[in-house]
Chain A
Amino acid sequence: MTDAERRTAIRDIVRQFAAEAREPEPTESLFDSGLIDSFVLPQLVTALEEAFHIRIPDSDLNPRQFESLARIEAYLSTRAE
């Protein structure tokens, strides 16, 4: 998967769970903006695991890893083959 493909896939997943139909900025906090709340976050993480065919260990489940599109992308790039 290329970086561009990964970025598009992340955006699609976040859009699927976001409280509003708008495109967040790459570094915008999805939590502070209210797009992703505490109860949706676990579902978002599960969707990322399914889409990228990975299992995110509990030790990596720090909410900050998933706070923005850029952070999600940075984390998933470390999990890329």
Chain B
Amino acid sequence: MAFIEAFASYLPEKVVTNAELAARLDCDPAWITRASGIEQRRYAADTESVVDLAVAAAQACLTRAARAPSDVQLLVVASASDPTRFPGPASLVAHRLGLEQTPALDVPVASAGGLIGMILGNALADTYSVVLVVAAEKMSSLALREPLDPNVAILFGDGAGACLLSSARGRARIADHVLHSDGAFAGSLAWRADGTFSMDGRSVLLQASRKFPRVIAELLERNALNASEVPVFLMHQANQNLMDATARALGVPAPRFFSNIRAYGNTSSASLFIAAADWQQSAGFQSGVPVVFAAFGAGFHWGAVLARGL
């Protein structure tokens, strides 16, 4: 089982408020907040790519962990919004970090990619010793597609997060994980190579609102923990209403589900690490205290990770 050394994030400069977006979408800014909990989001510049976002988050994470890029023995990059079908962004991110021979793997899974990268990194840390997991998304390229769809455009933002795992040291240790996939509803959330996008919001929310609490409960049960014993849940920042519903289903107070969706919107696979980085700065791991990470994304793929502070 791997140690977690650091989290970090990179958010582009441009802030887009609900008022600005509502004017463009001809809708009520209060409706955006009510439907999602989002008050603003960040958009990358036209010249800023998924790779640019990923490199910035990776460098911030290495700095925070006091590591050099050359320490990284395996790079994992999650992104579902990189426009190039192949190669995925991982090899380019590795190149930009100055890594010449280091293996770099892509995880093209929307929303759950960061968590899946973390689980892969945890499983491979014994072999590769230092694993850098990065999740980067330029979701504005989807949100701002014409014709604008308010149900899509209000949700997404751009950003990147990173997590450094190692076999030797860290602030916390990953204790266990659960990961599931089910393709029965793959068409409910899909962005196809021909550019068509489909999102059945009711189906996604119905599945997510059941699977999130269930997978967290499964993880806790096999580690002999009750939800009440976990002070912090770090979840993919999909929608504030979904986080609140998950907290209700588990019988824990909603504030235990760390949230920064108000400021950044739904940044898909990047959101878990962006939330973790903010939480690490404001609170962070404490010795022996369990923390649960969870994500659900297109596919559907969903899972949870249990870590304990050292």
Contacts and interface: CB of A to CB of B under 8 A. Distances in A.
Interface of A: 31, 38-39, 41-43, 45, 58-59, 61-63
A63 B206 CA distance: 8
Tell me the dominant secondary structure on chain B's binding face.
helix
B205 A58 contact: no
B177 interface: no
Contacts of A59: 184
B64 to A, nearest CB: 36
Nearest to B300: A58
A42 B215 CA distance: 16
Interface in B171-222: 182, 184, 200-203, 205-207, 209-211
Nearest to A67: B202
Contacts of B182: 58
Contact of A38 (B184, B202, B210): B202
B207 A61 contact: yes
A61 B210 contact: yes
The 7 residue pairs across chains A and B that have the minimum distance between CB atoms = A42-B209, A63-B202, A38-B205, A39-B241, A38-B202, A61-B206, A38-B201
Contacts of B210: 42, 58, 61
B205 to A, nearest CB: 5
Contacts of B201: 38
Interface residues of B, number: 15
B205 A42 contact: yes
A41 B184 contact: no
B245 interface: yes
Contacts of B207: 58, 61
Contacts of A62: 203
Given A58-B210, A61-B210, A39 B205 contact: yes
Contact of B211 (A41, A45, A58, A63): A58
Contacts of B202: 31, 38, 41, 63
Contacts of B242: 39
Contact of B245 (A42, A58, A63): A42
A21 B211 CA distance: 31
A39 B241 CA distance: 7
Nearest to B239: A39
Contacts of B205: 38-39, 41-42
Given A58-B210, A59-B184, A61-B210, A39 B203 contact: no
Contacts of A41: 202, 205-206
A61 B245 CA distance: 17
A80 to B, nearest CB: 22
Contacts of A38: 201-202, 205-206
Nearest to B211: A58
B290 to A, nearest CB: 26
A21 B6 CA distance: 51
Contacts of A43: 245
Given A58-B210, A58-B211, A39 B200 contact: no
A63 B202 CA distance: 6
A13 B206 CA distance: 17
Contacts of A42: 205-206, 209-210, 245
A41 B202 CA distance: 8
A65 B241 CA distance: 23
B299 to A, nearest CB: 13
A36 to B, nearest CB: 9
A11 B184 CA distance: 30
Nearest to A61: B206
Given A41-B202, A58-B182, 19 more contacts: A31-B202, A38-B202, A38-B206, A39-B205, A39-B241, A41-B206, A42-B205, A42-B206, A42-B209, A42-B210, A58-B184, A58-B210, A61-B203, A61-B206, A61-B207, A61-B210, A62-B203, A63-B202, A63-B203
